[in-house]
Amino acid sequence: MGFASVKELLCKAQANGYAVPAFNVENMETVQGVIQAAEELNRPVILQTTPSSVKYAGLDFFAACVETEVRKNSVTAALHLDHGSSFELAALAMKAGYSSVMIDGSQLSFRDNMDLSSKVSCLGKILGVSVEAELGSVGGKEDGLTAGEVLFTEPAEAAEFAARTKVDSLAIAIGTAHGFYKGEPKLDIRRLKEIRNAVDIPLVLHGTSGVPDETVRECIRIGICKVNYATDLRNVFTKAVKLNMAENPDNIDPKKYLGAGREAVAEAARDRIKLCYFK
Helix (H), strand (E) at residue 5: none
**CA–CA separation, 89 vs 147, rounded Å?**
20
Task: Kindly list the strands in the beta sheet with 145-147, ordered across the sheet, starting from the edge strand earlier in the chain.
Answer: 145-147, 139-142, 177-178
**CA–CA separation, 93 vs 124, rounded Å?**
11
In contact, 25 and 34? CB cutoff 8 Å: yes
Q: What are phi and psi of 204, to 5 degrees?
A: -120, 140
| Maximum Cα interatomic distance, the chain, rounded to a whole number of Å | 60
Question: Which candidate in 82, 104, 143, 168 is catalytic?
Answer: 82
77 strand-pairing partners? 45
Whether residue 143 lies in the annotated active site: no
**CA–CA separation, 117 vs 247, rounded Å?**
49
**CA–CA separation, 194 vs 222, rounded Å?**
10
What 8-state DSSP symbol labels residue 211?
A: S
> Hey, how many other C-beta atoms are within 10 angstroms of the C-beta on 214?
9
**CA–CA separation, 119 vs 101, rounded Å?**
13
In contact, 29 and 61? CB cutoff 8 Å: no
**CA–CA separation, 52 vs 131, rounded Å?**
19
Secondary structure class of 151 (helix, strand, coil)? strand
Question: Which residues are part of the catalytic machinery?
Answer: 82
